[in-house]
Amino acid sequence: MHREEIEVRTEGEGAIHDVTEELRGAIERAGIDDGMAHVFTPGATAGVTTIEFEPGCVADLQAALERMAPRNAVYEHNRRWGDGNGFSHVRAALLGPSISVPVAKGSPILGTWQQVILVDFDNKPRERRVVISVT
């Protein structure tokens, strides 16, 4: 079992970061040919998924999440805590914090145009952790 933790400096506000190279590197350093890779982000206002990482898809995903949990809707979290990031919590819970990717011949089995991304939903810049586990 090999685990790496990376830090990603984000601007928050739905910032999307491609962590596929870090995933490939971790698998290589794990020295495992066949197995599973798990990507997880600790924290309640960020999520992990896959997408074609190009500016169009990135903007489209952000727009869809704005429709699902609008930034300026009324949130109970904001009323209770005054944080202003109620929308961030909802989006993170909906997207989920983890994905699992199979590994073959020392590489993740991803589609040609499929990248693993971290989405930071918080309403301010953050130093985000991403935990990559290879088993």
SS3 45: coil
Measure the CA angle with vertex 52, ends 104 and 54; round to 5°.
135
Residue ranges in 14-53 that form contacts with a copy of itself under rule CB under 8 A: 34-36, 38, 40, 42-44, 49-52
Residue 73: Cβ within 10 Å count: 10
Minimum CB separation from a copy of itself for residue 22, in Å? 15
Angle between helix 86-95 and helix 55-68 axes, rounded to 10 deg: 110
Q: Which of 11, 21, 28, 109 binds a copy of itself (CB under 8 A)?
A: 109
| Interaction between residue 99 and a copy of itself (CB under 8 A) | yes
| Interaction between residue 127 and a copy of itself (CB under 8 A) | no
Instruction: State the binding string over 76-95 for a copy of itself (x if CB under 8 A, else -).
Output: xxxxxx----x--xx-xxxx
